[in-house]
Structure formats: structure tokens, C-alpha cells
Structure 1
Amino acid sequence: MDFNVKKLASDAGIFFTRAIQFTGEKFGQVEKTELDAHFENLLSRADSTKNWTEKIFRQTEVLLQPNPSSRIEEFLYEKLDRTVPSRPNNEELLGHYMQDAAKDFGPGTPYGSTLIKVGDCERRLGSVQREFLQTSAIGFLTPLRNFLEGDWRTISKERRLLENRRLDLDSCKARLKKAKLAESKAAAVPDFQETRPRNYVLSASASALWSEEVDKAEHELRVAQTEFDRQAEVTRLLLEGISSTHVNHLRCLHEFVEAQTAYYKQCHLHMQDLQKELDSSNGDVFPNAFAGNPGHSMASGGSSPLDPASAVETDTLKIEEVQAPATGTRKAKVLYDYDAADTSELSLLADELITVYTVPGMDSDWLVGERGNQKGKVPVTYLELLS
């Protein structure tokens, strides 16, 4: 118990001395040992690495898991060292809902069979996303987290220790400077002509005491300098290791990009397969697999039927000269309002019925529509063909 009390008193004294030194430095009242330029550059580089790694890590977490509640849940399970419960992601849930709806509507109906196919594709997309998230978490997030929670904590600890060693060193320097100043004053005090020998003896004794204090302060300074140099070397080696950290993070970044590339490539292939499957199965029902979706032509890479310039380039027929064929005309229901872009097109109103037909040389995204005496080009995606 006596030992603990002494140690506590010693630690309190050291802390108090460091606090005095730190306060004096802040007010410019005492000298401060400055680190060399190379060391300062290493410190600045380490701080920058930590700050940007932290930002990249947090934003990558948001990218991989946009739901804040799910991120908090995963964090809590990780801290409790428990496995996160496996739950279906959004794509998988959508796929399940579509397939359940198909069972209710009838899998043999056009809508039901299409729901089954799209739902199966969504489930496959969800599986691909799950694999991408796992790969990215292991290959990219984990190394960043290991640096922040491991290497950086070690560097921070050694930097704090180095700062304490510097404060101790500067305190020893200040103590030695003060002792030398007092010694010089004490040496100048004795008066050899002094008629009272007692005063002379006291002055000589004070000078000897300050001389001993100087010797003690010099010894403490040498010890403090040695500890500071040793700690500076340890800290410098850790800071120079930041270069290896950058190399490791660069490799992980390449792996993250490769994982993203594979993920988006697989998603694209699944969607292409789905589109081909829908085109082949629904070709007899709709002239376009996504009839009723005005954005399909643009999404599939073709020109939009709403683009007048595109229509003019692909269809140079004169509408007023086009005659309805003897056979091949069909009735169509208008799905959406459409305003004609020029005189060659026919404006449409939702839910009205018109007669449509095609003519040789016309763009497949357009038909000729007739309403009474009015005639003009109409976009296929705005129609539901009835007969």
C-alpha cells in the first residue's frame, strides 16, 4: 500500500510538471523542443491517411448498406461477437413478392408468367448483390477497419508517449537552466572581506548545494534525452510504415473495383437474358416486350420515339400519301396522352380507340394511326393493340 501511494504521488508530480511545461509553451514563456522537418512530414502524412481512410471507410459502409438501422444492427452484432441474422435483401424480397403474386393471378396468364420470370431475375440479382457485399466487406472494408482500430491506435499511443517524453525533456532543460542561474548567483554572493564568518559559510554552503542541483539536473536531462530519442525512433518507424499501409490499401482498392465490375457485369447479363426471354415469349402479344413503357426504346439503347429528329431521320414517308392497306389494320387503345411533335404525327388522348397499321419502310417503333379523317404517325409504346 505504501508503494502504491508513493507511485501515485510520483505520477501526480510528473503530470503536474508536464502540465506546467505545456502551459508555459502555450503562452510562449518556455522553450519547446521542435521535431525535425522529416518527422513533421511523417506526422502530417499519417494524420492525412487516418482522416481520409476514416471518411472512405464510412462512405463505403453507406454505399454497401444504405439503411442506417441495418448498419447499427450489424455494428452491435459485431461488438457482441455474434453472427448477423441472414435476411433477404430488397431485390430478393421483390422477387418473392412477384412470384407469390403470379401464383395468385395464375402462372398460366401472360401477366403471371411474366411476373415469375421477372421475379426469378430479381432473386438472382439479389444473390449477386449479396455476394458483392460479402466480397467488398472482406476485401476492402476489413483492411481499412484493421488500420483504424489497430495500426492507427498503436501510432496514436506512441505519439502520445513521445509528446510526454518531449515535455519531460523540456522540463529537465528548464530545471537545469534555472539551477545554473541560481548557482552563478550563489557563487557571486560570498564576500571574502566579510567580517562575519557565519554569513560567508552559509553563502559557500548555498553555492555547493546549487552545484549539486546542477549535477542532478544534468543527469536527469541526459536520461530524459535518451528516453526521448528512443521514443522518437520507435514513433518514426511506425510513421514510416504508413507507406506499407498505402500499398496494402491500394491492393484492396483494386480488388474492390474488380468486385464492382463483376457485380455490374453479372447484373447486366441477367437483365439481358430477362429481356430476351420476355421478347421471345411476348412477341405475339406485344410488338415490343415492354409495350406500355414509354422509356423502353431509350433504355435499350435505341432512339426514343418521342424524339422528332429521330423520327424524321428514320421515316421519310409522307403521311398524307400513305393509304390504309386492304388487310392488316388493327384497333388499338391509347394508354397515355401524346402531343404531336409535328404535322406528320397524330395527337392522342388516353383511353381512346384508333385504327393503326404499318407500311413498308417505317420505323418499327411507329405506326400510322387514323381517327376519323385524321391520320398521322403514333408511337407504338403509347398503344395497346387489341386485334
Structure 2
Amino acid sequence: MEFNVKKLASDAGVFFSRAMQFTEEKLGQAEKTELDAHFENLLARADCTKNWTEKILRQTEVLLQPNPSARVEEFLYEKLDRKVPSRVTNGELLAQYMTEAANDFGPGTPYGKTLIKVGETQRRLGAAEREFIRSASISFLTPLRNFLEGDWRTISKERRILQNRRLDLDACKARLKKAKAAEAKAAAVPDFQETRPRNYVLSASASALWSDEVEKAEHELRLTQTEFDRQAEVTRLLLEGISSTHVNHLRCLHEFVESQTNYYAQCYQFMLDLQKQLGRFSGTFVGNTESASPAAATSPPVAAATLPAVPTIPVVPTIVGVPNTVAEGVLNPNEVKPPASGTRRARVLYDYEAADSTELALLADEMITVYSLPGMDPDWLIGERGNQKGKVPVTYLELLS
């Protein structure tokens, strides 16, 4: 108990000394040990990194999860070390509604068939979104959180310790300065009071006492200076580690961009496939042709004109010099000849499943020869792999020089 009381009293004395030193510095009544310019630059760079990392982290969370209530719930689950419940994405929920509506309207009707096709694409979009959120959280958000909750907390702790060491050092310098001033004053008293022996004895005793105080203050100053220098070196090494943090975050940023690129490429391809499927059955979107009477079929299409236009794949016109089978979308390898110039090598980025016989199935990382023909859709190229030929989507390729 006695030890605890003494320790408490000592801690209170240290705290009071630091508080008094800090107050006097703010009032301009005490000197302050300044850090070198390089150290100050490291501190400013660390603070800048922390502030921008927090902003980027928060906005990325908003991008991946726009619902603030869901973000708060996920945050609480993480803090409680509990598994975050799986959420249905908006695309998946829309797909569910479309499928249920198709079952009510009749899956065999034109509207029901289209609802099922669009719903399936929305489900694939929702699954792609889920995978993008998962990969972005692992490759980008987690490293940013680890920096703020790990490395930055360590840096902040060591900076607080350095600040306390600096206050102790300046307080020791102030005490030494006061002790030396008192010693000089006590040593000067006998010169003015040589006729009073008693005062001379007292002054000599006070001079010796202040000499002991000066020696004690110098000893404390040496110890405090050593602790300050050691802590400054530890803090400096941590601050210089911010450069490694930037390198790590740069790598994570590249992974985030790659995940986002793959996600948007998948979404684009899903919508292209859906557009092709809808384009093949464009005649069924105006109404049920099976129940239409001959009179309705020959009447002016007034009702059809009021309906929203349905996007379809552009029709490629027949062009002189190009076989009709290519222009009409039917690719015959025996009729399509590569141009004399303009062929290129391409690396396949993702697997691609051919939708029909006019397309060429692709495997990721394989090399193929590609070229374009006059009048072709700019989003497609003719691809060759040995004796196999077919249309391939440009978004799935990396064209090489």
C-alpha cells in the first residue's frame, strides 16, 4: 500500500510538472525544445497520410454499401467479432421479383419469357456485385483499416510518449537554469556582507546547498536527455515506415482497380448477352402475336408506336466485298478470309462461352489472332485459333502490338 501511495504521489508530481511546463510554453514563459526539420516533415507526412486514408476508407465504404444503416450494422458485427450476415443485393432482389412476376403472368407468355431472361441477367449482375464487394473489401478496405487500427495507433502512442519526454526534458532544463541562478546569487552574498560573519556562514551554507541542487539537476537532465533521444529515434523509425505504408496501399489500389475493372467488364458482357437474346425475339415485345387477328396485323401500328422502344443489337448492313454470310451474322470459316494486313495478336483476359456457332469460345490467357472486317460491329472482332474462326468480344481481349 505504501508503495502504491508513493507511486501515485510521484505520478501526480510528474503530471503537475508536465502540465506547468506545457502551460508556460503556451504563455511564452518557458523555452521549448524544437525538433529538427526532417522530423517535423515526417510528422506532417504521417498526419496527412492518416487524414486522407480515413477519408478514402469512408468513401469507399459508401461506394460499396450506400445504405448507412447497413454499414452501421456491419460495423457493429465486426466490433463484436461476429460474422456479418449475408445480404441480398439489389440486383438479386430485382431478379427474384421478376421471376415471381413471370410465374404469375405465365412463363410461356412473351412478357413472362422476357421477365425470366431479364431476371436471370439481374441475378448474374447481383452475384457479380457481391463478388466485387467481397474482393474490394479484402484487397483494399482491410489494409486501410489495419493501418489506422494498427500502425497508426502505435505511431500515435509513441508520439505521445515523445511529447512527455520532451516536456520532462524542458522542465529539467528550467530547473537547472533556476538552480544555477540561485547558486550564483548565494555565492555573491558574502562579498556584500563581509562585516557580518553570521550572515557569511549562512550564505556559504546556502551556496553549498544550491551547488548540490545544480549537480542533482544536471544529473536529471542527462538522464532525461538520454530518454528523449531514445524515444525520438523510435518515433522517427516508425514515421519513416510511412513510405512502406504508401507502397502497400499503392499495391492495394491496383488490386482495387483490377477488381472494379473485372466487375464492370462482367456487367457489360452480361448486358450484351441479354441484348442479343432480346434482339432475337424483338417481334414478341409488341404483343402476343399468337392471339393477334389478321385485321390487327394489317392495321396501322398505332398501339405499337406508343410502347417504349426495345434496344436491340444493331443490324450490320451488307457491304460490297464482304460475304453476305458475315454481314448477316452467319460466319462460315470457309468464306471469311483474313485481310492482307491488319491482323493482330491478342491475349484473352477472361473465359468466354460462345452464344452460337458464329462466335468463338475463349479461354483466359490463351493467344489468338484477331482482325476486323468492313461493316462489323466495333465491339467485336474475328478471332482465329488454328482452323477455328468466330466472332469474339473486344472487351475480353488485350490487343498486343
Question: What range describes the TM-score normalised by the shorter chain of this pair?
Answer: 0.7 to 0.9
Q: Is the 8 A contact 2:46 2:239 kept in 1?
A: yes
Q: CA deviation at 1:197?
A: 2.6
Q: Is the 8 A contact 1:91 1:123 kept in 2?
A: yes
User: What code does the residue aligned with 2:3 have?
Assistant: F
Q: Is the 8 A contact 2:39 2:236 kept in 1?
A: yes
Q: For 2:28 and 2:43, how far apart are their aligned partners in 1?
A: 23
Find the counterpart in structure 1 of residue 83 from structure 2.
Answer: 83
User: What code does the residue aligned with 1:151 have?
Assistant: D
Find the counterpart in structure 2 of residue 208 from structure 1.
Answer: 208
User: What code does the residue aligned with 2:216 have?
Assistant: K
Q: Is residue 104 from structure 1 mapped to residue 104 from structure 2 by the alignment?
A: yes
Kindly report the root-mean-square deviation, in angstroms, between the aligned alpha carbons of the 2 structures.
1.8
Q: CA deviation at 1:335?
A: 6.5
Q: For 2:32 and 2:214, how far apart are their aligned partners in 1?
A: 20
Q: CA deviation at 1:281?
A: 2.3
Q: For 1:330 and 1:213, how far apart are their aligned partners in 2?
A: 114
Secondary structure of the corresponding residue to residue 151 of structure 2: helix
Q: For 1:129 and 1:29, how far apart are their aligned partners in 2?
A: 61
**Using a 3 Å threshold, how does the CA distance of structure 1 residues 193 and 163 change in structure 2: closer, same or farther?**
closer
**Using a 3 Å threshold, how does the CA distance of structure 1 residues 114 and 192 change in structure 2: closer, same or farther?**
closer
User: What code does the residue aligned with 2:28 have?
Assistant: G
User: What code does the residue aligned with 1:140 have?
Assistant: F
Q: For 1:71 and 1:192, how far apart are their aligned partners in 2?
A: 79
Gaps of 5+ in 2: 288-296, 308-316, 318-401
- Which structure 1 residue ranges, 4+ long, deviate > 6 Å from structure 2? none
User: What code does the residue aligned with 1:333 have?
Assistant: V
Q: For 1:108 and 1:193, how far apart are their aligned partners in 2?
A: 121
Q: CA deviation at 1:4?
A: 0.6
Find the counterpart in structure 2 of residue 253 from structure 1.
Answer: 253
Q: For 1:26 and 1:267, how far apart are their aligned partners in 2?
A: 59
Find the counterpart in structure 1 of residue 113 from structure 2.
Answer: 113
Q: CA deviation at 1:330?
A: 4.8
Q: For 1:194 and 1:112, how far apart are their aligned partners in 2?
A: 119
Q: Is residue 331 from structure 1 mapped to residue 300 from structure 2 by the alignment?
A: yes
Describe the superposition over 1:232-288 as per-residue Cα deviations: whole angstroms up to 9, x where unpaired: 00000000000000000000000000000000000000000001001112345559x
Q: Is the 8 A contact 1:106 1:112 kept in 2?
A: yes
Q: Is the 8 A contact 1:57 1:144 kept in 2?
A: yes
Q: CA deviation at 1:86?
A: 1.3
Find the counterpart in structure 2 of residue 368 from structure 1.
Answer: none
User: What code does the residue aligned with 1:332 have?
Assistant: P
Find the counterpart in structure 1 of residue 172 from structure 2.
Answer: 172
Find the counterpart in structure 2 of residue 320 from structure 1.
Answer: none
Written as runs of structure 1 = structure 2, the 5 A alignment for 1:90-169 is 90-169=90-169
**Using a 3 Å threshold, how does the CA distance of structure 1 residues 14 and 335 change in structure 2: closer, same or farther?**
farther
Q: For 1:333 and 1:245, how far apart are their aligned partners in 2?
A: 65
User: What code does the residue aligned with 2:300 have?
Assistant: K
Q: Is the 8 A contact 1:192 1:200 kept in 2?
A: no
User: What code does the residue aligned with 1:108 have?
Assistant: G
Q: For 2:230 and 2:270, how far apart are their aligned partners in 1?
A: 60
Secondary structure of the corresponding residue to residue 281 of structure 2: helix
Find the counterpart in structure 2 of residue 295 from structure 1.
Answer: none
Q: CA deviation at 1:154?
A: 0.3
Identity %: 77
User: What code does the residue aligned with 1:107 have?
Assistant: P
User: What code does the residue aligned with 1:76 have?
Assistant: L
Q: CA deviation at 1:109?
A: 0.4
Q: CA deviation at 1:88?
A: 1.0
Q: Is residue 23 from structure 1 mapped to residue 18 from structure 2 by the alignment?
A: no
**Using a 3 Å threshold, how does the CA distance of structure 1 residues 103 and 174 change in structure 2: closer, same or farther?**
same
Q: Is the 8 A contact 2:193 2:199 kept in 1?
A: no
Q: Is the 8 A contact 1:95 1:122 kept in 2?
A: yes
- Which of the pair has more CA radius of gyration? 1
User: What code does the residue aligned with 1:157 have?
Assistant: K
Q: Is the 8 A contact 2:110 2:284 kept in 1?
A: no
Q: For 1:196 and 1:262, how far apart are their aligned partners in 2?
A: 97
Q: Is the 8 A contact 2:33 2:170 kept in 1?
A: yes
**Using a 3 Å threshold, how does the CA distance of structure 1 residues 258 and 24 change in structure 2: closer, same or farther?**
same
Find the counterpart in structure 1 of residue 36 from structure 2.
Answer: 36
Q: CA deviation at 1:122?
A: 0.3
User: What code does the residue aligned with 1:259 have?
Assistant: S
Find the counterpart in structure 2 of residue 344 from structure 1.
Answer: none
Secondary structure of the corresponding residue to residue 331 of structure 1: coil
**Using a 3 Å threshold, how does the CA distance of structure 1 residues 203 and 244 change in structure 2: closer, same or farther?**
same
Written as runs of structure 1 = structure 2, the 5 A alignment for 1:178-217 is 178-191=178-191, 194-217=194-217
Find the counterpart in structure 2 of residue 243 from structure 1.
Answer: 243
Secondary structure of the corresponding residue to residue 189 of structure 1: helix
When structure 1 is superposed on structure 2, of 79-88 and 194-203 the one drifting more is: 194-203
Q: Is the 8 A contact 1:92 1:126 kept in 2?
A: yes
Q: For 2:183 and 2:227, how far apart are their aligned partners in 1?
A: 27
Q: Is residue 64 from structure 1 mapped to residue 33 from structure 2 by the alignment?
A: no
Q: CA deviation at 1:199?
A: 1.7
Q: TM-score, normalised by structure 1?
A: 0.75
User: What code does the residue aligned with 2:278 have?
Assistant: L
Secondary structure of the corresponding residue to residue 48 of structure 1: helix
Q: For 2:240 and 2:107, how far apart are their aligned partners in 1?
A: 65
Describe the superposition over 1:177-235 as per-residue Cα deviations: whole angstroms up to 9, x where unpaired: 00000000000001486344322111100000000000000000000100000000000
Q: How many residues align?
A: 299
Secondary structure of the corresponding residue to residue 302 of structure 2: strand
Find the counterpart in structure 2 of residue 45 from structure 1.
Answer: 45
Describe the superposition over 1:109-138 as per-residue Cα deviations: whole angstroms up to 9, x where unpaired: 000000000000000000000000000000
User: What code does the residue aligned with 2:100 have?
Assistant: D
Q: For 2:132 and 2:286, how far apart are their aligned partners in 1?
A: 36
Find the counterpart in structure 1 of residue 391 from structure 2.
Answer: none
Find the counterpart in structure 2 of residue 279 from structure 1.
Answer: 279
